[in-house]
Amino acid sequence: MKNTEEKSNLPENYEELKKQAGRTSNWRERLDAVDELGKWKSKQTIDILKRIMNNDTVYKVQEAAYRKLKKLGEDVENPPRKKGDLVKDVNKILLRIKKSLPEGHGYEEFKDKLRKMRLDIFDTYEGDKGPDFDQWLENTWATLQKK
């Protein structure tokens, strides 16, 4: 059974979508790329969707790739949600950022510096935590030990 939205070749903007799918500092762009690539059934689009489904740092993006692959008729398993840190040594990185700020800095300064220095981490956790991101980041910032 063929999906009416499914097309059998590559989109005109395939190269741009391929780049968009690999942008580590923008989960929304990766999600948009998954949505568009999922409309085209080809070895290339399926390979990209499988890579995203298995390796993306944001579960919402992995899940979207899984749904698109299923719709394209691929035999895939829903990826498990990662447990623990999404980025290796994230607390060490966050502590380093906190230590780089002046004594008595506020949460917003920390958040801005994280966004500027490590947009990949900011983006990954923002995508994963959704509306709870600010609360999670502020709690994490408050508990980081400045030695």
pLDDT tens digit string along 35-44? 999 999 999 9
**Is 84 domain-assigned?**
no
- The number of distinct structural domains making up the chain is 2
Q: Is residue 50 over pLDDT 50?
A: yes
**Is 80 domain-assigned?**
no
**Residues spanned by the domain of 30:** 14-71
| Same domain? 96 vs 129 | yes
Contacts 24+ apart (CB under 8 A), 80-89: 86/57, 86/58, 86/124, 86/125, 86/128, 87/57, 87/120, 87/121, 87/124, 87/125
Question: Residue 25: pLDDT band by 50, 70, 90 thresholds?
Answer: confident
**Is 116 domain-assigned?**
yes
**Is 85 domain-assigned?**
no
**Is 78 domain-assigned?**
no
**Is 33 domain-assigned?**
yes
pTM for the complete prediction?
0.78
pLDDT of residue 34: 96
pLDDT of residue 146: 59
The Cα 43–Cα 90 span in angstroms is 35
The Cα 117–Cα 81 span in angstroms is 26
Question: Residue 7: pLDDT band by 50, 70, 90 thresholds?
Answer: low
**Is 5 domain-assigned?**
no
| Same domain? 99 vs 54 | no
**Is 103 domain-assigned?**
yes
Question: Residue 84: pLDDT band by 50, 70, 90 thresholds?
Answer: confident
